[in-house]
Amino acid sequence: MGKERKRGKVVVISGPSGSGKTTICDRLKLDPRMRVAVSATTRPPRGAEKDGVDYHFFTAPEFERLIAEGKLIEHAKVLGNYYGSLREPMERAVEAGLCHVLNIDVQGGAAIRKLLPGSTFIFVVPPGEEELRKRLEKRGTDSPEGIRKRLELARREMEYRKQYDRVVVNDTVERAVDEIKKIIFGGQ
């Protein structure tokens, strides 16, 4: 009789824009035990972002079709654009015994908590609001008004951290990644 493969798990990583979630997830991709989801969105690509690598870019009608066909496990509209997580890659990773990481906002996190309550929920925060402002300005992708809106949204999103299993302060990427791996895998 063959050895039965252990099912993987789903990990949700949320936090305000500029907290470093994407940078952390880029590092987590290097771990062969993990698959980091590529989110779907209707927002336009920033800089050198590539379809299927950084995001799956869709038009609003295409995204609405995905919703209608049940191909998303969660979706939300944030600052005028749709964002969501595709169902099939998650199902494949979990069946293969891997950890499927979703880098999603708090609305998506709440949806996953209802759908997959056994998942691990991690909230990433910057060391402080001033550091968050510096990170958003350094990105160079938002106008001053856009940065102001992102900071307002960040203040509201920070209230949700109490609904997460763990809060990780992203003071340095290496330390935050190590802490997240310990949360997911224990001392392994």
Domain annotation covers residue 167: yes
Domain annotation covers residue 18: yes
Pairing verdict, β 9-14 and 99-103: parallel
Domain annotation covers residue 1: no
Domain annotation covers residue 114: yes
Token couple for 125: 């925060």
Domain annotation covers residue 68: yes
Give the whole-angstrom CA distance, residue 51 versus residue 56: 5
Number of separate domains in the chain: 1
pLDDT in tens, 106-151: 888 999 999 998 999 999 998 888 887 887 888 777 788 888 888 8
- Residue 12 burial (CB < 10 Å; 0-12/13-18/19+)? buried
29: Cβ contacts below 8 Å, ≥ 6 apart = 35, 36
Q: What does pLDDT average to over the chain?
A: 90
- Position 130 scores a pLDDT of 82
pLDDT in tens, 69-98: 999 999 988 879 999 999 999 999 999 999
Domain annotation covers residue 4: no
Domain annotation covers residue 79: yes
- Which residues form the domain of 50? 9-185
pTM value is 0.84
Domain annotation covers residue 3: no
- Position 56 scores a pLDDT of 97
- Position 186 scores a pLDDT of 87
CATH number at residue 137: 3.40.50.300
Give the whole-angstrom CA distance, residue 38 versus residue 52: 7
